[in-house]
Amino acid sequence: MDPNRVLIFDTTLRDGEQSPGISLNTAEKLEIAHQLGRLGVDVIEAGFPITSPGDFEAVQAIAREVEGPIVAGLARTHVQDIDAAWNAVRDAARPRIHTFISTSDIHIRHQLQTTREDVKGQARAAVTHARQYCDDVEFSPMDATRADVEFTAEVCAIAVEEGATTVNIPDTVGYTMPAEYTAYLKRLYELVPGLRDIDVSVHCHDDLGLAVANSFAGVLAGARQVECAVNGIGERAGNASLEEIVMLLHTRGEAVGGLHSGCNTREIARTSRLVARLTGYAVQPNKAIVGRNAFAHESGIHQDGVLKERATYEIMDATTVGLDSNAIVLGKHSGRHALRQALEDLGFEVSGNALNQAFHRFKEIADRKKHVTAMDLEAIVADELREEVEGYVLEWFDVEASSRRPPHATVCVRRPDGTELKGSFTGDGPVDAIFRAINSTTGIDAKLREFRVDAVTGGQDALGETSVVLELDGRSAAGQGVSTDIIEAAGRAYVRALSNAVRRREAAERAEAALEPEPATP
């Protein structure tokens, strides 16, 4: 193995998916996993299989279908967790079980309510059990950076002794600082010499905005796996951002002895758009690498410099991260074959009914919009994936808007059991009216928490992409929609968010009825 190669462990579908309001269905997770494969990540942490049948099913589908990366499933140290993780990943060409337990006293005392001795025993038993199934086992001492380094070292030594092939050192609450993390890792290497023979990994959260800096410090201290998520999504302030780590290595790797990842950087922009679209988590405009302003120059002096020589104000070329790839253009006369070819060029394998459905959507849009570009196709395909789960569907709507009367909306919503419901309501504006009409028609009293509209491309006829976050019984859920008509896109997003919210409520009710607490996530 090349000693300068840094493994990219993507946790978008596990830690990233734990962000509030994100609820990806299996088809969406698969699409993201396929795209991560095209991006060339080394490991996909596909989920936490014990937490729900949906999570299990998605991890299993990814393990069975996605070729290339190692597919990992997360597990606490409990036997049932490890069994579920193994059953979910066992069909992958390269499966991994990732098990964890906290080593900080604050977690041991207050959350686990146990002792250090018990933690050592649980870590030993978990790694031994996981190794019976799988040759590739990762162990994480959770909250390591707030834990006593000597005790964490004892636990890591046990994991290594029992055959863990990767030991990951999480900065679970985003507390450490680069120099401190370096010192911590160096001390661990001294205390556990066996760490030199396996992969050491870093997993940093961004609570103080240091996730990427800390991860990089970890790599400089010897770690050769970085756990990160696309667009930096994840618990609270998120994880280290995958695109920042990959481009940091790509741009400055030579300055640090030739460190590099195996990612195809030209897939970064597309991966970021797909994740933003399916999760509903928009990327901030000035976000490094993938924000829409990351390669824009506003000041006259900068524009002048870049026109004369790009390198005057750009340290990376936008094409390196795939920002030039909107070349495909279809029009209303393009046929099924041209659409299929364009989708294939984008990496989507669409055939049979899915192709018919995509073609139908494409024709609808091409009738209203002159040119359909690669970005539009990405938006349409992502929108179709959202339909794969049974839920409420907005069949049709009428909205009357005027500056002299309150806007009024009538909607027809199909319930998951197929029955159609019709109803009307007024609102402060046309979008508010359609949302209220959907609530009153379905009898579900959801509260709107966030509503956003973005244009997929430039131009007056651009597709509108909407994102809705709503709250039902204290749980938030998100939905997205795409159309050339903003009100239609808003209505679609709202019913999808409603379907997700109802599904979450039903899952919680089932768990309560079975007297099982909702599964805890790390």
Shortest CB 22 distance to ligand KIV, Å? 15
Between 96 and 203, CB nearer to ligand KIV? 203
Between 175 and 435, CB nearer to ligand KIV? 175
Shortest CB 423 distance to Zn ion, Å? 43
270, interface contact from ligand KIV, Zn ion, none, CB < 5-8 Å by kind: none
Shortest CB 13 distance to ligand KIV, Å? 13
Shortest CB 485 distance to ligand KIV, Å? 41
Between 172 and 500, CB nearer to ligand KIV? 172
| C-beta of residue 155 within 8 angstroms of C-beta of residue 141 | yes
155, interface contact from ligand KIV, Zn ion, none, CB < 5-8 Å by kind: none
Residue 90 tokens read as 């066992």
Q: Where are the beta strands (DSSP E) in 130-260?
A: 137-142, 166-171, 199-204, 225-228
Between 238 and 322, CB nearer to ligand KIV? 238
Stretch that binds Zn ion, among 11-19, 92-100, 270-278, 459-467 (CB under 5 A): 11-19
Q: How many residues at the interface with Zn ion, by CB under 5 A?
A: 1
Shortest CB 201 distance to ligand KIV, Å? 9
Report the residue from 6, 7, 15, 73 that binds Zn ion according to the rule CB under 5 A: 15
Those residues with Cβ within 8 angstroms of residue 380's Cβ, 6 or more apart along the chain or in another chain:
358, 361, 362, 365, 463, 482
Shortest CB 484 distance to Zn ion, Å? 39
436, interface contact from Zn ion, ligand KIV, none, CB < 5-8 Å by kind: none
Q: Where are the beta strands (DSSP E) in 295-444?
A: 329-330, 372-373, 393-400, 408-414, 420-426
Between 15 and 244, CB nearer to Zn ion? 15
Shortest CB 100 distance to ligand KIV, Å? 4
Shortest CB 171 distance to Zn ion, Å? 9
Stretch that binds Zn ion, among 8-16, 155-163, 193-201, 385-393 (CB under 5 A): 8-16
| C-beta of residue 225 within 8 angstroms of C-beta of residue 166 | yes
Shortest CB 235 distance to Zn ion, Å? 5
Between 211 and 495, CB nearer to Zn ion? 211
215, interface contact from ligand KIV, Zn ion, none, CB < 5-8 Å by kind: none
Between 222 and 522, CB nearer to ligand KIV? 522
103, interface contact from ligand KIV, Zn ion, none, CB < 5-8 Å by kind: none
Q: What angle do CA 113, 227, 27 make, to 5 degrees?
A: 95
| C-beta of residue 339 within 8 angstroms of C-beta of residue 359 | yes
Q: Which H, E and C letters describe 97-143, residue by residue?
A: EEEEEECCHHHHHHHCCCCHHHHHHHHHHHHHHHHHHCCCEEEEEEC
140, interface contact from Zn ion, ligand KIV, none, CB < 5-8 Å by kind: ligand KIV
| C-beta of residue 129 within 8 angstroms of C-beta of residue 86 | no
Between 147 and 350, CB nearer to ligand KIV? 147
Integer angstrom CA distances of residue 136 from 90, 95, 157, 322: 11, 7, 17, 33
Q: State yes or no: residue 55 binds Zn ion (CB under 5 A).
A: no
Between 100 and 295, CB nearer to ligand KIV? 100
Between 22 and 316, CB nearer to Zn ion? 22
| C-beta of residue 97 within 8 angstroms of C-beta of residue 159 | no
E strand or H helix that includes residue 75: strand 70-75
Residue 520 carries which DSSP code?
Answer: P
Integer angstrom CA distances of residue 359 from 273, 378, 456: 22, 13, 19
Q: For residue 475, what are the β-bridge partners?
A: 472
Shortest CB 202 distance to Zn ion, Å? 11
**AA letter at 435:** F
Integer angstrom CA distances of residue 411 from 231, 420, 465, 506: 36, 10, 20, 24
E strand or H helix that includes residue 36: helix 26-39
430, interface contact from Zn ion, ligand KIV, none, CB < 5-8 Å by kind: none
Shortest CB 322 distance to ligand KIV, Å? 28
SS3 assignment, position 270: helix
Strands 70-75 and 95-102: parallel
Between 7 and 411, CB nearer to ligand KIV? 7
Of 98, 250, 252, the C-alpha closest to 166 is 98
Contact residues for ligand KIV (CB under 6 A)? 15, 100, 140, 142, 168, 170, 172, 203, 205, 522
Stretch that binds Zn ion, among 1-9, 14-22, 158-166, 298-306 (CB under 5 A): 14-22
100, interface contact from ligand KIV, Zn ion, none, CB < 5-8 Å by kind: ligand KIV
Stretch that binds Zn ion, among 10-18, 272-280, 417-425, 512-520 (CB under 5 A): 10-18
Listing DSSP states for 418-477 in one string gives S-EEEEEEE-SSHHHHHHHHHHHHHT---EEEEEEEEESSSSTTPPEEEEEEEEETTEEE
Shortest CB 172 distance to ligand KIV, Å? 3
Spatial strand order in the sheet of 408-414: 393-400, 408-414, 420-426
Between 147 and 438, CB nearer to ligand KIV? 147
35, interface contact from ligand KIV, Zn ion, none, CB < 5-8 Å by kind: none
Write out the residues near Zn ion by the rule CB under 5 A: 15
